[in-house]
Amino acid sequence: MMQTITCECGHSNPYGTSLCQACGKPLTQDVEILSSMRYEGSARRSQTYKQTFVDKIWNFFSSVKVGVWLIVIILVAAAIGTIFPQETFIPPNVDPATHYESEYGTLGLIYYLLGFHNLYGSWWFILLLGMLGLSIIIASLDRGIPLYKALKTQRVTRHDQFMKNQRLFSKSSDVELDEIKYTLESLRYKVREENGNLFAEKGRFSRWGAYVNHVGLIIFLTGAMLRFFPGMYVDDILWVREGEKASIPGTSSEQGQYYLENNDFILEMYDKEEKKFNSALSSVDGEVAKNYQSNVTLYKTKENHTIGAEPELEKVKSGEIRVNEPFKFDSFALYQTDFKLNEFYKMSFELEEKATGNKFGKLTVDLHDPKKEYDLGNGYKVKIEEYFPNFVLNEQNQPSTVNNLPDNPAFVFSMYSPKTPEGEKAFVGIQKNIDSGENLFKMSFAGIETKDLTALTVRKDHTLWIIALGGIIFMIGVTQGLYWNYRRIWIKQNAGEVWAAAHTNKNWYGLKKDVEFLSDKTNLTPLEEKETASK
């Protein structure tokens, strides 16, 4: 059974209580009444029982000190996380394991190994947030519930010692109780009466502010946590060339896979000549973008689509994507994020006899899918021996490619004709055409086709409303606790005298104005501030 302390007023209090919940009498010696008023002198629930392992953990997290330390540690970790860029912001296609060391040296390596490069996803950061959540829940339960009980059970008649030790106190004789009651009610206090004693209170709900905002925080943290749960959150990027279709990452399910076609990417600039913008744009060098837009069509495959197989697509819908105007389907949104203009797409060449300038046919090379051999007829043909999409001379001075993007295409061609059945070789790139010098034929450049690319952010977020809800509740709690305060005034008949005491959890100025008004309107002795109370 629980140990209880029975006060002389008859109320039984939980073990550890310092002020009786009902009448406010100090239950132990040397209790400082005023400083105990924060939680009404109620027992913090955790401090009473220390038997089991679970209780010990509970007690640890019940401490506000522990909570504050957790916040400090989280803040310091988050600050350290800003020293080097997060993983999201390093170039794609580099391995973070080597990138941080090569860019930032040993400190970078340590940074990477400790998981600071992906702070919000690192196990220890999530653990810290989890512990903070636990601390918030336990500390609030341990304080909130006893406080609620104490405020609910408080009686009109308070113990003498409780009255005398309040910061605002006075003794008077010969007062009109009805007048006091009426005045307090006019100040919108809720007044209760018991045996000629009065208890007036106002704004009790402000005491719940702290607990409401903690509920908000817990909801907020829950929302953040849910981002790691499958299907709740997608944040990815999708590049699509004009006229091409690409699968949308994160949209694969048993019902099929979504594809997006980029019909057209549009980049519009402001016209500097136009009168309307003339003066505004005259101070700007270069062009000013007016619109970034992708016209897209959404497709979906049949059920049970195998990755990589030629998709059987059904059109879902078409739309336009502009900055801040995403394209939405299911729970996904596609946002305009980036673009690349004029990527090389097809290059055309003509086979030309050097001596005569005669041309023997034209070939067009798809830079994403060049053919091995192009037959020009009449015994003329061209073979591609080597293809470098993004040509560069490497350290050994060998032709090679930087990556697979056709940004600087170069070829080694073999040209065949009835005159040269053995074939002649030439190296051809952008403004490069190199051969042995004895070739009869050459490949002459005959035009290039380009395509634009659009980059879209693929986002799905089922957690946003939870996070918003948490934020709103948090703000309600903060407002509740900050803009209101809990004011109490006690009037007690005591052997011919009338004792008055007042207390508030904050804004003593406001309370003092209330009691001044009260003593002005009635013949109550003005309440005076206790000098010792300030300590």
Edge-to-edge strand order for the sheet containing 313-322?
245-247, 258-269, 289-301, 313-322
Collect contacts of 525-532 with beta carbons under 8 A, ≥24 apart.
Answer: 525/170, 525/171, 525/172, 525/500, 526/170, 527/168, 527/169, 527/170, 527/500, 527/501, 527/502, 528/168, 528/169, 528/170, 529/167, 529/168, 530/165, 530/166, 530/167, 530/168, 530/169
DSSP state of 524: P
Residue with tokens 């949209």: 251
Residue 328 has phi, psi (to 5 degrees) of -115, 140
In sequence order, the β-bridge partners of residue 444 are: 350
Our CB check for another protein shows the closer of 281 and 384 to be 384
Q: Does 93 bind another protein (CB under 8 A)?
A: yes
What sign does the dihedral 200-206-210-211 (CA atoms) show?
positive
Provide, rounded to whole angstroms, the least separation between the CB of residue 228 and another protein.
Answer: 4
Q: Does 320 bind another protein (CB under 8 A)?
A: no
Q: Does 173 bind another protein (CB under 8 A)?
A: no
- The 403-442 site mask, x for binding another protein (CB under 8 A), equals xx--------------------------------------
Given the rule CB under 8 A, which of 20-28, 179-187, 286-294, 378-386 is the region that contacts another protein?
A: 378-386
Q: Does 210 bind another protein (CB under 8 A)?
A: no
Using CB under 8 A, count the residues that bind another protein: 52
Residue 177's H or E segment, with its range, is: helix 177-186
Which residue in the set 16, 26, 209, 389 belongs to the binding site for another protein (CB under 8 A)?
389
Q: Which residue type occupies 26?
A: P
User: CB-hemisphere CA count at 13 Å for 69?
Assistant: 8
Provide, rounded to whole angstroms, the least separation between the CB of residue 260 and another protein.
Answer: 12
User: Cβ of 77: how many Cβ atoms within 10 Å?
Assistant: 17
Given the rule CB under 8 A, which of 129-137, 161-169, 182-190, 273-281 is the region that contacts another protein?
A: 129-137
- The 100-119 site mask, x for binding another protein (CB under 8 A), equals ------------------x-
Provide, rounded to whole angstroms, the least separation between the CB of residue 398 and another protein.
Answer: 12
Given the rule CB under 8 A, which of 388-396, 422-430, 480-488, 518-526 is the region that contacts another protein?
A: 388-396
Given the rule CB under 8 A, which of 275-283, 290-298, 395-403, 513-521 is the region that contacts another protein?
A: 395-403
- The 50-89 site mask, x for binding another protein (CB under 8 A), equals --x-xx-xx-------------------------------
Q: Does 228 bind another protein (CB under 8 A)?
A: yes
Provide, rounded to whole angstroms, the least separation between the CB of residue 523 and another protein.
Answer: 48
Given the rule CB under 8 A, which of 31-39, 134-142, 350-358, 417-425 is the region that contacts another protein?
A: 134-142
Residue list 276-315, contact with another protein (CB under 8 A): 306-309
Q: How far apart are CA 252 and CA 463, in angstroms?
A: 20
Q: Does 397 bind another protein (CB under 8 A)?
A: no
Residue 451's H or E segment, with its range, is: strand 441-461
DSSP state of 390: B
Provide, rounded to whole angstroms, the least separation between the CB of residue 1 and another protein.
Answer: 8
Q: Does 5 bind another protein (CB under 8 A)?
A: no
Are 216 and 471 within 8 A, CB to CB?
A: yes
Q: Does 130 bind another protein (CB under 8 A)?
A: yes
- 3-state SS of 19-48? ECCCCCCECCCCCCHHHHHHHCCCCCHHHH
Q: Does 355 bind another protein (CB under 8 A)?
A: no
Our CB check for another protein shows the closer of 384 and 440 to be 384
Which residue in the set 29, 30, 92, 282 belongs to the binding site for another protein (CB under 8 A)?
92
Our CB check for another protein shows the closer of 172 and 390 to be 390
Our CB check for another protein shows the closer of 198 and 443 to be 443
- 3-state SS of 342-370? EEEEEEEEEEEECCCCCEEEEEEEECCCC
Which residue in the set 81, 108, 256, 370 belongs to the binding site for another protein (CB under 8 A)?
370
Closest to 285 measured CA to CA, from 266, 268, 272: 272
Which residue in the set 289, 402, 430, 464 belongs to the binding site for another protein (CB under 8 A)?
402
The three-point CA angle 14-17-19 to 5° equals 125
Are 237 and 454 within 8 A, CB to CB?
A: no
Which tokens in the block code for residue 286? 């270069």
Are 381 and 362 within 8 A, CB to CB?
A: no
In sequence order, which ranges of 81-122 are alpha helices (DSSP H)? 96-113
Q: Does 391 bind another protein (CB under 8 A)?
A: no
Residues that bind another protein (CB under 8 A): 2, 49, 52, 54-55, 57-58, 92-95, 97, 118, 121-123, 126-127, 130, 133-134, 137-138, 225, 228-230, 246-247, 249, 252, 306-309, 368-372, 384-390, 400-404
